[in-house]
Structure 1
Amino acid sequence: MTGKFIVIEGLEGAGKTTAINTVARILNQHNIDDLQFTREPGGTPIAEALRHIIKNGLDNEPLTDKAELLMLYAARIQLIDNVIKPALKAGKWVIGDRHDLSTQAYQGGGRQLDKTFMVTLKEQVLGNFKPDLTLYLDIDPEIGLMRARTRGELDRIEQQSLPFFERVRQCYLEIAKQDRTIITIDAGKSIDDVTKQIEQILTKWLTKQV
């Protein structure tokens, strides 16, 4: 099999780290060992610098919603062109912690940015590049934020209001319904149940890639 790009998506506290480890384990069980892990925003020196600004701000200067969006795409294309595409070309399987679906949900749904502007920007920056498979971990925002708070201080994005995250979730669900490469997983269940869901979905998907 040639290299594939698998992305894990979800709200804060949905359990993305556990899901990523589960995906890696299952791939290893199928003799897929050459893995590249990425995260967004981030993954290259420039992208990581942009991540810091997006997550924490800079010198108390207000970060506008459109500037945030443009920074995300700048970080994303750095990662795609310098890490993801070369890895896929070399036959590696890439496991991503977030990708463009996050931007559609957070900036499109949460920030409520103009849809036409977002579609145009996405097409210009990404073209037809997209993940082969996306696992969306769906969770009630209140539960997810409670989990996130146990990890420590919340960053700039995590401090948004509950209605913001409710809009994000709704956008995730709407997009997932329209794209067969996105599979929704109930992340509100126990870790064991979520792990079993991922195992079943990924194992079934892998049999179709042979």
Structure 2
Amino acid sequence: MVEKTPRTNSMHGRFITFEGGEGSGKSTQIKLLAKRLEGANLRTLVTREPGGSPGAEIVRHLLLAGVGRLIGGAEAEALLFAAARDDHVRTLIQPALESGVWVLCDRFFDSTRVYQGRLGEVSPAMLNALQDVTIGAMKPDLTVILDVPVEIGLARAAVRRGSEAPDRFESESIDFHRRLRDAYRQIAAAEPERCVVIDANAEPHVVAARIWLTVQERLLGWPQAKVEVKPEAKSKAESKAKTKSKAKAKSA
């Protein structure tokens, strides 16, 4: 057996995961955050789960087609997710982090805990064992949980897929998706140092601004959002301030 490199988050890059129900806008917000980070001269990699690496993408097709559910239910799905995640972390995420790249991932282990654990009733013992094998101590530096009302999220997902049939998870009942939303909130409440819940029932640019503020405060070490002022806007503001100052001096 080939010995694996220990997986920890004591690496040079930063690891940010995005979680949330169907139609919460994860893909859109990841792209917007990647653009912000690249604008700050930070190398960025966008990936997803299930999938992300060649081997994991093969497993992704099986999962979304419902193969795991057919051959053994939620436990089989959890095993397939673990196989995909192991390949994803080993061949893509860990090497990127070690080289100083910021990795943004659409779903990660929290999705397994919610979909297969809380909703599929896979035992915590099994999920903990799978986590130890696939990611070890390499937890995300930040997990952004995009929260949106279930009906709105499913409507967005329907628009996104167009004429395509809903996948294995989109086709679940409304009650399933409500419990899913509650499960994510519970994870955030249990791990506030890692997770942040963002209200995603807003325009994309508003949601993006909220996420960027969180990244600034938690990962970049900026105590508060910095508002960039264009030179011409700055000079106008300074001129206005000087005019007011002169007016006050004359009245005095």
Q: 1:12 matched to which residue of 2?
A: 22
The alpha carbon displacement at 1:68 in A equals 0.6
Larger Rg: 2
2:89–2:134: 8 Å Cα contact kept in structure 1? no
Q: 1:70 matched to which residue of 2?
A: 79
Q: Distance in 2 between matches of 1:127 and 1:155?
A: 30
User: 1:25-75 CA deviation, whole Å, 9 max, x = no partner?
Assistant: 22122211x2222110101222111100100135x9555211111000110
1:31 matched to 2:44: no
Matches within 5 A, 1:1-210: 2-32=12-42, 34-58=43-67, 61-62=70-71, 64-152=73-161, 153-179=165-191, 180-208=193-221
Q: Distance in 2 between matches of 1:140 and 1:63?
A: 31
Q: Distance in 1 between matches of 2:125 and 2:177?
A: 22
Q: Distance in 1 between matches of 2:215 and 2:134?
A: 29
TM-score normalised per structure 2: 0.77
Q: Secondary structure at the match of 1:7?
A: strand
Aligned length in residues: 207
The alpha carbon displacement at 1:115 in A equals 2.3
2:44–2:102: 8 Å Cα contact kept in structure 1? yes
Q: Distance in 1 between matches of 2:46 and 2:209?
A: 22
Q: CA RMSD in A?
A: 1.9
1:9–1:101: 8 Å Cα contact kept in structure 2? yes
Gap runs ≥5 in structure 1:
none
Gap runs ≥5 in structure 2:
1-10, 223-252
Identity over aligned pairs, percent? 38
Q: In terms of mean alpha carbon deviation, does 127-136 or 109-118 score higher?
A: 109-118
The alpha carbon displacement at 1:189 in A equals 2.1
